[in-house]
Structure 1
């Protein structure tokens, strides 16, 4: 279970934060002085630290530097009662994960702690390969596959990991691009330095530039304090830019300049800031096609693909499916406390024949679903979702009252003599699917795009088109 260390000299602050953060999935330990905190860092090896900048035995910056000496990669969240304190800003420059103002908003803090724990996991949990998968447990990250195409991926990681050049990882959603990025980092010369990740599709366009480059106080409405961006925080380390195809042209230009000159300015700033960061970028989009359409800079592509690794979709490595199923079955059994130890041949046949548009991520979800459904020790075809099992009967042969909704709708439009049937049905289908998926993920567009197997840009485009429906189909 992950551990968070609170370092604050105010007992009431420790009490309230501990009460608000502690759960069955997070242990909280605390210290009243910096020196007590150092001892706990050495003894307990916490995953995240939350520290006040004013402590009785040491100022916050000195404490921060000592913590970084003890564990240079631990995410440190700084809290302060002073919005303009230079200590907090300097801590951010030197690699603090975030800083917050007192009184702390617990909802915001929980979100930041969650992100910090995920960063810690990505930095510390090794990305393992399939020869070590047999003893994997939930939380481990394993790249599974022995097919020829995956052997080429492993060789590519080995060739480029120790070379200090930019890497571009290409592949459909769900193929494991983040795992490969972390494997490159963990086998690189920068493995002792920070590893930060940012999903360019998960952050609104208006905020992405600030998240990457930071901003000065007063640079724009709402910029009430200076912010240090990821490029500055990751100095000396590695920055993983996921879904880089969703980056706006303005931000693309700034990233290009940074790659060319290894320097940048914060938004609203005039002072050039030098940084030494290795970039690993990933996308599920065709950057060359986007460049031809004027949506992505060709010169940025040249800078990003110092070396390119292309991950195969699952449908192109069918031989790996039994290995993956075995791996996910073992993890699901541990997580769900079940005892499904085998897969029936008929079920495995269905799994190997499915096209897997969501790739490995979809397969993992299907196996977990099957383990939940299974009532014995063998996963059977009946335990699999209908999307994998398919249908043995033809809906056209059934009575009209038993027809699926969309077949009925086609007949309605045909009977009415309507025109433009395909566009009408496509619009209605998009509306139904997107509404249901967004409801399932509580409106989270990033999660929705992953489940749908489309980019967030495509999702946004579809949602915008739904605001302008086609005209009602007319008769002849």
Structure 2
């Protein structure tokens, strides 16, 4: 239950009495003698109620109400009025005030109105929280496509970790979407408004690595003309994504460890330490601890990076996502080119499901674009390493269920009729494939 109350009144005796009544009843009370001071210090999404006198020097209670309404029209405001101000207070209620109390008022009257206002505030904030969660979930579903149980679990993990101030290690094969997941961890967390800096450790020559990561001062080395801010410093307040972290030179691993531990760095050729606030998200294909045991990676840095780990399943382990992803990439390519989307035949779908996709989502996207362009795609003719008939049937069944649920927007009765399935059978199949009807209900 919420229990925060702000009291605004220019009379010290009123403030003192109200504070005593409310504190004895278990409320957290904050006092102001001026409306302007209240506005200046009011936090966003204040989880409580404002109690304000109407007649005050400077900004009065009605002007305060108007200003609060502009900030948050659902914030409950209880006005304290003298006898002659009652008509004015009634008019203020029409304009959004929650209640008014005529002086002198009893503690019981004040507490009754306050508790009702706090109950309303709690419902409003809970409703906002649920809407925000639903919006985040919907946006994340668009960013990380897939209906397999593995993808659904990954999205849940991303939403949880995005809000936490911890470093994350992402493990996955080439082309499995590690940078996309890193970007989601940044975009759906509190650092979203700050820089997201991506760096592929395998693409930087070892001789340039330190300058690229930490920056340099003018004349730090031959050719260093002018001061240059490194990637870590540029990402201050935000996130740095280090892909293929296993390729980082050992000397730079030690310096990165210091940045993570001390939150400070030194540019190449400088003696002054610079404070930085960065979240490090690293990605790797091999196991970093195995790399450490082989002497190719610092064990202490591996533990610092792997506070939380996300594993991205290769596409061959979540074949039921292949049709959805292929359709998405092909449609976007067709839209970009201004041409109609090319349909995919049942035979082509079978071939897509049979292919092992060693290049994962990146390879699938390329095949989908070639399909949208009307070009031949080798993946649609590959048969090596084909999954079993049972695996293909499972993936095809999941795709049919998804298509029907999407078409009928999660309406179970319509899906039953379209697929000619009894409800119990449909429920069992949906559970087996990790499908939930709420995911298909159209959000407005």
TM-score of the superposed pair, with normalisation by structure 1: 0.50
SS at the partner of 1:280? strand
Q: Report the counterpart of residue 204 of structure 1 in structure 2.
A: 205
SS at the partner of 1:169? strand
Q: Which runs of 4+ in 1 moved over 4 A?
A: 126-133
Question: Matches of 2:365 and 2:138 in 1, distance apart?
Answer: 17
Unaligned runs of 5+ in 2: 1-134, 385-444
Q: Report the counterpart of residue 196 of structure 2 in structure 1.
A: 195
Q: Report the counterpart of residue 384 of structure 1 in structure 2.
A: 377
CA RMSD of aligned residues (A): 2.2
Question: Matches of 1:146 and 1:132 in 2, distance apart?
Answer: 9
Q: Report the counterpart of residue 410 of structure 1 in structure 2.
A: none
SS at the partner of 1:168? strand
Instruction: State whether structure 2 residue 289 is matched by structure 1 residue 318.
Output: no
Question: Matches of 2:343 and 2:358 in 1, distance apart?
Answer: 24
Which has the higher mean CA deviation after the structures are superposed, 172-181 or 279-288?
Answer: 279-288
Instruction: State whether structure 2 residue 368 is matched by structure 1 residue 367.
Output: yes
CA contact (8 A) 2:169 2:309 kept: yes
CA contact (8 A) 1:145 1:324 kept: yes
Unaligned runs of 5+ in 1: 1-125, 134-141, 375-382, 393-476
Q: List per-residue Cα deviations over 1:17-50 (Å, max 9, x = no partner).
A: xxxxxxxxxxxxxxxxxxxxxxxxxxxxxxxxxx
Which has the higher mean CA deviation after the structures are superposed, 233-242 or 349-358?
Answer: 233-242
CA contact (8 A) 1:168 1:282 kept: yes
Structure 1 residues 277 and 131: CA distance shift in structure 2, 3 A: closer
Mapping 1:55-204, distance limit 5 Å: 133=142, 142-204=143-205
**Distance apart, 1:335 and its partner CA:** 2.2
Mapping 1:265-414, distance limit 5 Å: 265-373=266-374, 383-385=376-378, 387-390=379-382
Q: List per-residue Cα deviations over 1:423-445 (Å, max 9, x = no partner).
A: xxxxxxxxxxxxxxxxxxxxxxx
Question: Matches of 2:136 and 2:373 in 1, distance apart?
Answer: 27
Structure 1 residues 181 and 335: CA distance shift in structure 2, 3 A: same
**Distance apart, 1:285 and its partner CA:** 2.8
Question: Matches of 1:146 and 1:309 in 2, distance apart?
Answer: 18
Q: Report the counterpart of residue 227 of structure 1 in structure 2.
A: 228
Q: List per-residue Cα deviations over 1:61-109 (Å, max 9, x = no partner).
A: xxxxxxxxxxxxxxxxxxxxxxxxxxxxxxxxxxxxxxxxxxxxxxxxx
Question: Matches of 1:256 and 1:291 in 2, distance apart?
Answer: 14
TM-score of the superposed pair, with normalisation by structure 2: 0.53
**Distance apart, 1:391 and its partner CA:** 7.3
Structure 1 residues 391 and 198: CA distance shift in structure 2, 3 A: closer
Question: Matches of 1:293 and 1:327 in 2, distance apart?
Answer: 41
CA contact (8 A) 1:171 1:311 kept: yes
Give aligned pairs, total. 250
Question: Matches of 2:344 and 2:253 in 1, distance apart?
Answer: 47
